Amino acid sequence: MQLTPVPVVRLIEEFSRLPGIGPKTASRLTFYLLRNSAERAKALAEAIRQLHEKITFCSCCFNITESDPCSVCGNQNRDQSIICVVEEPLDVIAIERTRDYHGLYHVLHGVIAPVEGVGPEDLKIAELITRVRVSDKVHEIILATNPNLEGESTAMYIARQFQGMAVKVTRLARGLPVGGDLEYADEITLSRALSGRSEIR
């Protein structure tokens, strides 16, 4: 005999699939929604529904957006000569918070991780190379992947793809902690890392 109703079990299972949420947290979230009003649950469901209906990826930089191109790629006041390459859309938000960077972005949507079966072809690396080749404006690529093993490997792989091309490839300075994630860095640390970036040779 099953004591927990099926809809409750199903929601706990769905919450458990989210990153960083284990069975206990999933159960707490489910029972929180159960205790609250139906309107609160409907608002959450509606927000999730709109997330997939209204959000798309920019066809140029692959950041999340409501319109294509995104507000950054469509802004002619941004510095068109620099592209900052990041792992995830959250990293764009982190760098924008510094208010020190005024160029463009390119979101890879992950890093090269052979153990997890993620290779260069699974990321937006080919699109980055094409984007730089067809543009005569891009003079610098800032590799802003996270300072961990996968981030470093991805940065080195991308740097090798641009060898022999007339574009400078730089890496964020070591103001960022090794093993940390860009999205958790404070604005001052990120600003210093941006201003102290160095060319990859």
Assess whether 38 and 135 both reside in one domain: no
84, 131 Cβ separation under 8 angstroms? no
Question: Tell me, what's the pLDDT at 141?
Answer: 97
Question: Tell me, what's the pLDDT at 39?
Answer: 93
Alpha-carbon gap, residue 162 to 132, rounded angstroms:
9
CA neighbours closer than 13 Å in the CB half-sphere of residue 47: 6
Model-level pTM?
0.79
DSSP 81: T
Our measurement of the distance from residue 196's CA atom to the centroid of its chain's CA atoms, rounded to an integer in Å, reads: 22
- State how far the alpha carbon of 142 is from the alpha carbons of 35, 40, 138, 149, in Å: 48, 42, 11, 18
pLDDT means over runs of 10, the chain (201 residues): 83 94 95 92 93 94 96 96 97 94 97 95 97 94 92 95 94 73 78 77 70
Residue 83 lies in a domain: yes
Residue 98 lies in a domain: yes
Indicate which CATH number applies to the domain containing 29: 1.10.8.420
Residue 1 lies in a domain: no
**How does 16-47 read in b/e, with b if 16+ C-beta sit within 10 Å?**
beeeeeeeeebbebbeebeeeeeeeeeeeeee
Determine the structural domain holding residue 137 and report its residue range.
Answer: 64-199
Assess whether 118 and 32 both reside in one domain: no
